[in-house]
Amino acid sequence: MGRKLEKGKLVLATHNAGKLAELRELIGPLGFDVVSAGDLGLDEPQEDGTTFEHNARVKAIAAMEATGLPALSDDSGLCVDALDGAPGVYTADWAELPDGTRDFAMAMRNLEEKLQSKGATTPEQRTGSFNATLCLAWPDGHCEFYRGVAPGQLVWPPRGSSGFGYDPVFVPEGHERSFGEMTAEEKHGWTPGQKQALSHRARAFQLFAKEALGVE
């Protein structure tokens, strides 16, 4: 078991609106006074790592050092088997436009083109997983990591308009609808006592709640 976190103020080390909404919903019932790095106007640190753990730590440490408060970050991405794990830590970069904004419709089209170029046309050839790594940084610099993986398949054309990022082209294992067709509660809803969360972020959060908060 890792170090326990006392309830109080907690910084969510993200500027991503979609990710922030999910993190707020997940942590909301647990009694923390949360504020985001974006709310505080903190600079976004450079994420130059080649692993989810490295980038998650960079974000958590930056928010902790700027505020003196415990900080929880998330680094996540889509890993496609036929593309040797790409886009992985570069998942958001695939959506980057020259002006710095992100176009995930473009990113999903590019992903599909790459799958087609690999001849990945059957469900068995289009497997992958969403991966999320949470990093909790304490004010003394100590860090703990909590990892969640949601396996599934890539579909085309996109399905649904809920969620964010690549959700409309990802169908989680054991389901027929994409993340983009699910409500927020279906995708990442998790409550203490629930056997298994569905999304990668919820699974990572479930582990965080158990190991850092003692919530089963």
Write out pLDDT tens, residues 37-87.
988 999 989 888 999 999 999 999 999 999 999 999 999 999 999 999 999
Is residue 120 one of the residues assigned to a domain? yes
Query: Residue 20: its pLDDT value, please?
Result: 82
Is residue 2 one of the residues assigned to a domain? no
75 catalytic per annotation? yes
Is residue 137 one of the residues assigned to a domain? yes
Is residue 183 one of the residues assigned to a domain? yes
Question: pTM value?
Answer: 0.89
With a cut of 50, list the residues of the chain below it in pLDDT.
Answer: none
- State which residues form the domain around 60: 9-213
Query: Residue 1: its pLDDT value, please?
Result: 55
Q: Which of 74, 75, 93, 167 is catalytic?
A: 75
Query: Residue 147: its pLDDT value, please?
Result: 97
Is residue 203 one of the residues assigned to a domain? yes
Query: Residue 25: its pLDDT value, please?
Result: 83
112-118 long-range contacts (CB < 8 A, ≥24 apart) are 112/154, 112/156, 112/169, 114/83, 114/86, 115/80, 115/82, 115/83, 115/154, 115/156, 118/82, 118/83
Is residue 90 one of the residues assigned to a domain? yes
Query: Residue 197: its pLDDT value, please?
Result: 85
CATH at 36 = 3.90.950.10
Is residue 1 one of the residues assigned to a domain? no
Query: Residue 15: its pLDDT value, please?
Result: 85
Is residue 123 one of the residues assigned to a domain? yes
Total domains present in the chain:
1
